[in-house]
Amino acid sequence: MKKIFFLLPMALFLAACQSDKKSETTETAEERIPVELRQVKTQTVADPVYLSGLVSNEKEARLSFKTGGVIQRVYVDEGDRVAAGQLLATLDLTEISAQVSQSRQGVEKARRDWERAKNLYADSVATKEQLQNANTAFEVAKENQRIADFNQKFSEIRAPHAGRIVRKLMNEGELAGPGTPIFFMDGQGEAAWVLRAGVPDRDWARIAEGDKAEVVFDAWPDEVFVGVVSNKAVAADPRSGSFEIEIKVQAKGKTLASGLFAKAKLTPNAVGQVKCVPIEALQEGNGKDAFVFITKDNQTVQKQAIRIAFINKDCVAVSQGLENVTEVITSGSPFLTERSLIKVIPTHTSAQ
């Protein structure tokens, strides 16, 4: 009887322990977080370049007089459209015309002196040196006349091409110096607008003429304009250290203006192979640094630091951190910690 009474408490104790273990196992299974795994893919993609800048006209020009003088007439105003060769402004020609007349009289005198010296030399009265000096003076006088005629010709401003007067910087009666801008004009036509922006040397090396670009203006934020790289600088700007890129923009019938601000996404033709993960796998991104969760046994998780190269739509290109990783956790990752237990579910289960 004593043995029976002794074995009964032991049996009850063992049964209670087994019940506790079953309860703990059930509770642990219920605490497992369902997650999905997605493969790390290697894709051939182009790293886009993002830039911004101001739009200007490809044929913009600053027009000025070749010589200085008083402005006599201005024939156009700001906003006027002009044709190629149209007269825009003239100087008072009083002084310039006097210089032209003076140069022509100088040519006539030099010609007479040269002919006289030639006759005297033929009669052995003048020396050969005197003849040569007279000939030189004659040639110098003719070149002076060419200079005076040239200055007179460029004492007026004509439009170098068809376009529009953007700014008029001086008015009639003002004294204009040689080369001082009087007008600022642009060209016309849909293919005449370019976006100029500076890029660092790393991006400059990947960009080539002919690369496509998507351009968005602040004036039309919901429209995407097509652009193509038309020129890239061969030297850096000494002030900023960046390289200027020109993107020719198709206006799509819009009336563009110099100085409009625009942003562009440029896709270089040069491509490379990168490892891509779904964007929903990223956790706690900080600039180019982030991390993802991975599992090696489908039960526990591990936080894996990665370095982001770029993000292209739903593909996150990773430059470092996934060298020996084939799968990452996507769905369920926001609820995970490094101590979490997981239950891997098929991808299609979550989609239902």
Which pLDDT value is given to residue 351?
A: 41
Assign residue 121 a region: left if phi > 0, alpha if psi is -120 to 50, beta otherwise? alpha
Per-state percent for the chain, helix, strand, coil, to nearest 5: 30, 40, 30
More confident residue, 216 or 320: 216
- Coil/strand/helix, residue 154: coil
Please name which of 48, 62, 51, 49 lies closest in space to residue 261, comparing C-alpha atoms.
51
Average pLDDT of the chain to the nearest whole number: 84
Quick: pLDDT tens for 110-121.
999 999 999 998
Dihedral sign, Cα of residue 215, residue 220, residue 223, residue 225? negative
CATH class, domain 94-154, is mainly alpha
294 token code pair: 């991975």
Q: Which amino acid is at 268?
A: P
CB burial readout 87-102, b (16+ within 10 A) else e: ebbbbbbeebeebbee
Q: Domain residues of the chain, as ranges?
A: 31-46+272-351, 50-59+186-267, 94-154
The yes-or-no verdict on residue 23 having pLDDT over 80 is: no
Q: Which of 59, 80, 90, 83 is nearest to 157 (CA)?
A: 90
Packed helices 94-122 and 128-153: angle between N→C axes, nearest 10 degrees: 160
If you search the block for the tokens 């097509």, which residue do you land on? 226
* Mean pLDDT along residues 293-298: 91
What's the topology of domain 31-46+272-351? Answer: 2.40.420
Once rounded to an integer, what is the mean pLDDT over residues 269-274? 67
At residue 59 the predicted structure's pLDDT band, cuts being 50, 70 and 90, is: confident
Q: What is the pLDDT of residue 32?
A: 87
Provide the CATH number for the domain formed by 50-59+186-267 in this structure: 2.40.30.170
Q: Which two tokens stand for residue 105?
A: 């009289």
